[in-house]
Copies of this chain bind each other. A is one copy, B any other.
Amino acid sequence: MTIVGNPMGQSTPELEDAIHEKIRAAGLRLTMPRRAICAVLAVNDEGFLTTQEILGRIGEQGVPIDPSTAYRTLDDLAKIGLIHLVHLGSSPGRWHLTVEHDHQHLVCEICGKTTLVPTAEIQPMFDQLRERYGFQTRHHHFAIMGHCETCSESEEHDHA
């Protein structure tokens, strides 16, 4: 089950620039390996990629980078809030852009379909958690696992 948002898409210079901006703003250096990783992330806006997949794409396209560099860099990008690690099922975690994503994700465990839900729709729950427990939800960009409409219906048929 591959989960990508813009598989063979065009690069999106605006987004890529915005990412570079954030990296600089955080005081990180804009190196070649980082540019390569950002490029992959930019064309996969809305996608969820594993570190291995990112490494693979970079290798296909140009100068490969060392795996350890990829692992470390992705951690760094997460630390500055540019990307986010999402665990879909038991497979390795997947990286997902955070910038300009004011939504949450519903992920179907069966077919992998992801549905976007405006954060506003879930906000009331977060507010309630804060009121009752003083708990400040942080990862305002997370994935809720379950079964999508289509797969739910097929399941009912199977039971009949």
Known: A115-B133, A129-B144, A152-B134. Is A93-B87 also a contact (CB below 8 A)?
yes
A109 at the interface (CB under 8 A from B): yes
Interface residue SS majority, chain A: mixed
* Total chain A interface residues with beta-carbon distance under 8 A: 33
Interface residues of A in 45-79 (CB under 8 A from B): 75, 78
In the complex, chain B residues whose CB is within 8 Å of the CB of A145: 137-139, 142
In the complex, chain B residues whose CB is within 8 Å of the CB of A148: 133-136
Q: Is the CB of B135 within 8 A of A147?
A: yes
In the complex, chain B residues whose CB is within 8 Å of the CB of A137: 144-146
Minimum CB–CB distance from A144 to chain B (whole Å) comes to 6
In the complex, chain B residues whose CB is within 8 Å of the CB of A108: 135
Q: Is the CB of B144 within 8 A of A115?
A: no
Interface residues of A in 115-142 (CB under 8 A from B): 115, 117, 121-122, 124-125, 128-129, 132-139, 142
Interface residues of A (CB under 8 A from B): 75, 78, 85, 87, 90, 93, 106, 108-109, 115, 117, 121-122, 124-125, 128-129, 132-139, 142, 144-149, 152
A115-B135, A136-B152 known; 9 other A-B pairs, CB under 8 Å?
Answer: A78-B90, A85-B87, A106-B129, A121-B132, A124-B125, A133-B148, A134-B149, A135-B149, A139-B146
